[in-house]
Structure 1
Amino acid sequence: MKIKVGSRESKLAVIQSQIVIDAIKKKNPDIEVELVTMKTTGDIILNKTLDKIGGKGLFVKELDRALLNGDADITVHSFKDMPMDVDERLPIVAVSKREDARDVLILPKGQTEIDFSKPIGCSSARRRIQLQKLYPQCTVKSVRGNVLTRLDKLDSGEYSALILAYAGIKRLGLEDRVSRIFETSEILPAACQGILAVQSRKDFDVSFLDEFCDKDTLAISIAERSFIKTLDGGCSSPVAAYGVIENDNIILTGLYVEDDENQYIIKSKTANKSKAEILGKELAIEMREGYING
């Protein structure tokens, strides 16, 4: 049996796909696995913010096409980069155990403090509004490109610092670049940050992924994505959700931003992990209605 694994061609995307490939080979040594890489529209258009060119779907369109025409059997994604609406023909069939979900501050090489005369590179509204509460004197400028491209822009002097996901930095082996790790109470992570998602065709046998899929992480991801979807949150929407499991319960924390983005609300709600989707929806409705009525 041969499995073709589709991936974006960036270094981080290939490393993440290799995590899945290694897990498949470990439990299924008789399966031949081939990595198929491709450049997505989101990787090509780097001079505009994602909300101006179509959102997160630009990172999956080519990979979805590869699945549908048989050029790939499974595809690997950073789950936080996937749109809320997934093609019914191409379900999420497995998720990884979650890597550290926190965001980190990275300074230019040789620097120990933020130079507030230059902007901080930050590509999401979620990060921007929380960052400006931590550093009221800062200015924020959008930054596009893969992690290594962003680091090059930082070190060339274009930015005073970057805010990036710790998970990607760890997977790239760049922990030594980290100047500060933000606790989730300081910057609430994006929904599903640190989680890898595997997608496939609806009729394709993916039993070889049974032991790879982490059931607790799956429950958390369902709750987080339910929260975001209920609020209609997309790539540029300043919303966030982060869940943790204690015993058999999910404690879900959500961030909801008022229309003018000057204020935001953070609230938590707990439910049994079997109620993950309902939990996300109920927390989103409570926060939205609380803002409207408050």
Structure 2
Amino acid sequence: MKTIKLGSRDSKLAVIQAEMVRAAVPVPCELVTMKTTGDMILDRTLDQIGGKGLFVKELDRALAAGEVDFTVHSLKDMPMEQPDGLPIVAYSKRADVRDALVLQAGLQELDLSKPIGCASARRRIQLKRLFPEADIQPVRGNVQTRLRKLDEGQYGALVLAAAGLHRLGLEGRIHRYFSPDEILPAAGQAIVAVQGREGSDLSCLSAFADAEARDCALAERSFTRTLDGGCSSPVAAYAKLENDHLILHGMYVSEDESIVRFGQCEGDRSQAVALGIQLAQQLKQAR
């Protein structure tokens, strides 16, 4: 029986997510980890160095070259356009979609004399609505690096994805959760994606792939793509299903960030991509 090679970033969270895939695949799997450009450049924000596509470039190269059979990613870290011949082939069941507030170890109250650290313009803009008096500053690095910077006193709090904290066993660090009404998540947040080569046999992924997460992700990514929003752009989208009825929420931000609009649309799940386009155009063209 052929051993399948799974490509992953070498961070602890990325490896845990790749192990989720390996556990669901009924054939032998070998994990191949690598450091990406996005992992190595930590002194600048993502929009200054080319966006989160830098987290997948090396993995895409290995996949295209046949060095690995599939690659595993946090869907929210993936560019909205996939390279030719390297489609997303499976989506995990969605975990907790919310963002979470994390305080310095041992503290029980938010200290606004120090900045709140977050890694995206999406969070920064929405945090300013919740905490107008707060200083919101960028923070880079993997989850453990960010927590170290917090506990050293560089920040008064962090905002991180709850799903990642749970997967790392760090849910005890969460001070409070933000509902999607408070902070709308990134497109694809809390979903693990598997990328493959066009024409590959996908039967081994059937136990991992989740159709509900797929349809929600298609709507969210369609919305973001229509607004030309890369992974580091201040765009947010969150879809949920009620039976076969899909409800999509989105946030549009103008280029100079002077306009922030929220809206929603809904329809049959089979129209997920069209609903994303519809809501994006509706918010962009609103007066």
Q: Aligned equivalents of 2:82 and 2:189: distance in 1?
A: 17
Partner deviation per Cα, 1:156-183 (whole Å, 9 max, x = no partner): 1100000000000000011100001000
Alignment of 1:228-247 (within 5 A): 228-247=224-243
Unaligned runs of 5+ in 1: none
* CA deviation profile, 1:53-78 (whole Å, cap 9, x unmatched): 11111000100111111221000000
1:224-248, Cα deviation, whole Å (9 max, x unpaired): 0000000000133211000000121
What amino acid does structure 1 have at the position aligned with 2:249? T
Mapped to 2, the partners of 1:244 and 1:236 lie a distance apart of 23
Report the secondary structure of 1:104's partner residue: strand
Structure 2, unpaired ranges of 5+: none
RMSD across aligned positions (CA): 0.9
Residue-by-residue CA offset, 1:32-54 (whole Å, 9 max, x unaligned): 11000000000000001111111
Q: Which amino acid in the other structure matches residue 235 of structure 1?
A: C
After TM superposition, give the deviation of residue 263 of structure 1 in Å. Answer: 4.1
Provide the secondary structure at the position in 1 that maps to 2:4.
Answer: strand
Give the corresponding residue for 2:278.
282
State TM-score, norm by structure 1.
Answer: 0.96
Counterpart AA for 1:210: S
- 1:262 Cα offset (Å): 4.1
Alignment partners' CA distance in 2, 1:225 and 1:289: 19
Paired amino acid for 1:124: S
Q: CA deviation at 1:259?
A: 4.0
Does 2:147 correspond to 1:147? Answer: no
Distance 1:41 1:117 in 2: 33
Partner of 1:67: 63
Secondary structure in 1 matching 2:148: helix
TM-score computed with the length of structure 2 as normaliser: 0.98
- 4+ aligned runs moved over 3 Å, structure 1: none
Hey, what does 2:7 align to over in structure 1?
Answer: 6
1:80 corresponds, among 76, 79, 102, to 76
CA deviation map 1:162-217 (0-9, x unaligned): 00000000000111000010000000000000000000111321210022110111
Counterparts of residues 4-153 of structure 1 (less than 5 Å): 4-24=5-25, 28=26, 31-153=27-149
The match for 1:199 is: 195
Secondary structure in 2 aligned to 1:243? Answer: strand
- Give the distance between the partners of 1:263 and 1:54, measured in 2 at CA: 24
- 71-80 or 259-268, larger mean C-alpha shift: 259-268
Q: For structure 1, which segment, 112-121 or 2-11, has the greater mean C-alpha deviation from structure 2 after superposition? A: 112-121
CA contact (8 A) 2:72 2:194 kept: yes
Q: Deviations over 1:255-287 (max 9, x none)?
A: 012344244111110010000000000010011
